[in-house]
Structure 1
Amino acid sequence: MDVKRWLDGVKPRPTTARFIAEALSRKAGTTFTLDDIGLASVVTPETLERSLAHGGGISDVGSRLLGLTRRDLAEDPVALQSVVVPDAWGESLIAWLLSRPEPLPTRELARPSVGKWDVQAIRATTELFANMGFQFGGGHARSALVQYYNREVVPMLDGKFSEPVGRSLYAAAAEITELVAWTAYDLGRHGLAQRYFLQGLRLAQASGDRMLGGLLLADMSHQANYLGRYDQAIQLARAAQEGCRGVATATPMALFCAMEARAHAGNGDEVECARALLEAEKHFAKSNVADDPSWVGYFDAAELASEGAHCYRDLKRPSQAMEFVGQAVGLCDPMYVRTLAFDRLVQAASYVHMGEPVQAATLALEALDLAGPLKSERYLRYIRDLQSDLADYAEEGQVAAFNAAAIEKYSSSSD
């Protein structure tokens, strides 16, 4: 019965798949992998670990990402609930810092044949999905993004292309990989996000774009900070700065320094946070949009102010946090709904720290309305953190109204 179901296309469980591969290997006197027997899409912890690797030839990245996206699209719990491996961050930043230019693979008979229009299509699609993420959260249309990435982008990595097209392809692929990673991160799928970030860094390295590699390291710093691994977050942000010194334009350098400031704030180090934040402001003052890569366009004055607000919220310095968050909200493009919702909740937390819970709850209610159907686990964490801050004021009318509204709106959301 089971064999008939497998022939009909039903995938066996991971343990069963491994037993099948082992039995066939013993029978044939050779080793068969899950890929060899057509069960590559069956998730196993072993195959997931391949996507943590940074080393090896660039040709390995396509197969790693193909396996990872198959598991992602199948929504297999082993992939979605995979854990972050902190050591992988350190290994990747060292490999990237010490990397040298590398030749692209030559594949005269490979398919598909990739041209500059294909690369432009990837960039346009990335921009489209990125804008949806800013407005509706990483969970919105994520399956469509990953499906496009799996079917259209990943196969190109093993295709045929000229040297200039290949470099551009790897850079465009790194950008959309970064977006796929962010959407997983935004949904709280941290192990999955880490694996995409790491492979995106490898693609950026192959493209020869140091600034783009710095962006991936800054992303990993952001995630490490979110997970409470502040020392590693500092290392990742500093690696981005050092690896891009003398190469990056001013705005990306401001971003990298801001990530370091966030990590110091998480660590409770106000002196180092202020120093890194000042460095970010100095770099940003030299920004020239015309010089910057397109992917850093979101990092404007409002975003820098938002980073400062987050820093001083974490340091529990409400007066400074209020100064920054006022700038952030006033300057933020209304398109960035997720950012505005975050900023409002940072502002609310600062009111709690100032001993003004009613004002905090009033702002939080506005944030709930602003967010609408925002699909973001990070946003839900802001809500939960604020509820915790307001726990001593639960009987206040406005605080009770906020708690009731949050429960009504998000009671079906899980941690």
Structure 2
Amino acid sequence: MKSYDAGQQGLVQRYYLQSYALATESGLRGHDGFVMHTMAMQSLKLHRPEHCLGLAETGLNRAKGHVDAQTEALFRVVYAHTLAKSGKRRAALAEAEQARTLLTGAPGDEAPFWALAWGPPAASVYSRTAKVHETMGDHRAAAEQYALAATARPADTYARIVALDLVAGAEMHLKRGSIEQACATWHRAMDHMDGVRSVRTRKAVSRMRSDLARFRARGLRCVAELDERGRDFLAGS
């Protein structure tokens, strides 16, 4: 997780391969597929859709019938994202909808420990569904799903991830031209960054200040206040 946060993707990949070997040896049904699902997520981050589609589909096929509904939803929503990245819009939306149906259909199921790496399955499904909509250019729907993801995780335990979901939501608001809503969401994100030491949160704040640059000349108070907060954050972290 630390290597992923630091952007050391080569090292991350080696750890994933070791994890896959261990998961296979463990004999836990679905665990090996979950590592493949996680590797697909890394390929998505690296913008390599030609690698992630097969990984996500194979991971899902290994999980179906062997895991609870919430865990299957995690597999399906990542598969949906890989479909969206591959230009298969209709199939992507169908898989994302199936993931949401699985979440609501069996809310009492207990997910295995290895499926809880990023917190409650619902939060991960919302966050990944947001990425499906973002990939297809529906920034309003993406912002809504990122907001759901942020509220679905215990903030004390997952402060960094909550902050990053809110950052992503703010970026969606900005793409829609809703600058005041974007600033308000960025402020919420930075509230969760207090005490968090993370390369990704620092990069997110730097990117925020860059995105705000073109608005500074307009004299918008919300932009000036947020930019100042971002500058102070980077100076002190």
Matched, 1:344 2:166: yes
Cα–Cα, structure 1 residues 228 and 292, in superposed 2: closer, same or farther, change >3 Å?
A: same
How far off its partner does 1:378 sit?
Answer: 3.1
Partner Cα distance (1:284, 1:311) in 2: 17
Aligned residue pairs, count: 232
How far off its partner does 1:347 sit?
Answer: 1.9
Q: How do 1:55-94 and structure 2 match up within 5 A?
A: none
How far off its partner does 1:266 sit?
Answer: 4.3
Which residue of 181, 184, 199 corresponds with 1:362?
184
- Structure 2 unaligned segments of length 5 or more: list them: none
Matched letter for residue 321 of structure 1: A
How far off its partner does 1:200 sit?
Answer: 0.7
Give the superposed CA RMSD: 2.6
Which residue of 303, 306, 324 corresponds with 2:124?
303
Cα–Cα, structure 1 residues 256 and 202, in superposed 2: closer, same or farther, change >3 Å?
A: same
Which residue of 61, 68, 72 corresponds with 1:249?
68
Partner Cα distance (2:222, 2:84) in 1: 30
Cα–Cα, structure 1 residues 275 and 218, in superposed 2: closer, same or farther, change >3 Å?
A: same
Which residue of 76, 80, 92 corresponds with 1:273?
92
Q: How do 1:11-410 and structure 2 match up within 5 A?
A: 182-267=1-86, 269-287=88-106, 289-297=108-116, 298-335=119-156, 336-395=158-217, 396-410=220-234
- Structure 1 unaligned segments of length 5 or more: list them: 1-181
- Per-residue CA deviation, residues 325-360 of structure 1 (Å, 9 max, x unaligned), is 343334332232122212211221121122111321
Q: Kindly, what percent of the aligned residue pairs are identical? A: 25
TM-score of the aligned structures, taking structure 1 as reference length? 0.50
Matched letter for residue 219 of structure 1: T
Matched letter for residue 371 of structure 1: M
8 Å Cα contact 1:341/1:367 also seen in 2: yes
Which one has a bigger Cα radius of gyration? 1
How far off its partner does 1:291 sit?
Answer: 4.6
TM-score of the aligned structures, taking structure 2 as reference length? 0.84
- Per-residue CA deviation, residues 281-317 of structure 1 (Å, 9 max, x unaligned), is 2332343655531232423323322222233234331
Partner Cα distance (1:221, 1:277) in 2: 16
Matched letter for residue 369 of structure 1: D
Partner Cα distance (1:183, 1:308) in 2: 24
Partner Cα distance (1:264, 1:375) in 2: 33
Q: Which has the higher helix share?
A: 2
How far off its partner does 1:217 sit?
Answer: 1.1
